[in-house]
Structure 1
Amino acid sequence: MEIKVTVKQLGRKHPILSEQKLDIACNDPKISLKHLLQLIVQQQVETFNSKSFELEDEDYAKIPSENYLNILTDTGKVGFGSIYNEKKANLQKAQENAIQAFEDGMFAVFYNDEQLENLSETIDLRLKHSFAFIRLTFLAGSYW
């Protein structure tokens, strides 16, 4: 089943990092938020683990063209697609981390502009609304 996901981070110049269509392995259109998070993490781990880890793919001397460099610096992240960590992601640990991060308030999930606050909340994917994941950051400061 295909879903639309937008990832945002508050307080940035360019808060929308990306809008993607993800194909998750789900046949039932009504699922819980916890199951949805597990399916999204599964899809992302499979994508990550399918990337090449061969050493000759990593350190090419790539000099970006002038127009490409401007695009990279506007997004705030300059990278050339190299993967330097050769470890494969552990699916079960990644799913546990995502659930724990949601419970700890590290990110918020919205479906059709309504916040999903409970992991057992049921979502109807037949409506084909867009999901928004907002990464939350804590403010640092002092009292005196």
Structure 2
Amino acid sequence: MKTIHVNVKQLGKKYPILAEQPINIDTEEDTISIQELLHFIVQQQVENYNQKSIEKEDEDVQKLPKENYLPLLIESGKASFSSIYNENKVNLIKAQETASQAFEDGMFAIFLGDQQFEDLAEEVSLTTNQSFTFIRLTFLVGSYW
């Protein structure tokens, strides 16, 4: 089990960086491909999501935030109560395929320090102390084609 640090960013001035978070990936290898990295990260995120409890409408009808949560709402400017209302579990294989396809389609970019990865077959070292940065890319005008 190795721990990597991941930054998630999006373009724009409003919320340029969302968070840096440590992610445990299930490998003992020092070097893996970008595709394997994506699969490990998606696996960890899917496991976290599938373990969360599902909100039932009869439990908290008003969905009011607690007192200690209000400063976080003010800081982020976004109301997110971390509640799950969909009872379906995420399919891990489908989620991994979707992440790989999104990377190939240029929907997001992956960096390690100043190095950008552009191919799923590229190898990356997990022994560096640098953080991985994922940047969600958005289309500015027009359509996808």
RMSD between superposed Cα atoms in Å: 2.1
Counting aligned pairs with the same residue, the percent is 57
Offset at residue 69 of structure 1 (A): 3.1
- The amino acid that maps onto 1:33 is I
Q: TM-score, normalised by structure 1?
A: 0.88
Task: Describe the shift of the 1:127–1:57 C-alpha distance in structure 2 as closer, same or farther (beyond 3 A).
Answer: farther
Mapping of residues 1-144 of structure 1, within 5 Å: 1-53=2-54, 55=56, 59=60, 61=62, 62-65=64-67, 68-141=69-142
Unpaired runs of at least 5, structure 1: none
Q: Provide the C-alpha distance between the structure 2 equivalents of 1:2 and 1:63, rounded to a whole number of angstroms.
A: 32
Offset at residue 100 of structure 1 (A): 0.3
Unpaired runs of at least 5, structure 2: none
Offset at residue 90 of structure 1 (A): 0.3
Alpha carbons 2:55, 2:83 under 8 Å: kept: no
Q: Provide the C-alpha distance between the structure 2 equivalents of 1:57 and 1:3, rounded to a whole number of angstroms.
A: 39
Task: Describe the shift of the 1:32–1:58 C-alpha distance in structure 2 as closer, same or farther (beyond 3 A).
Answer: farther
Post-superposition Cα deviations, 1:64-105, rounded to whole Å, max 9, x if no partner, equal 43x743531442320222211111000000000000000000
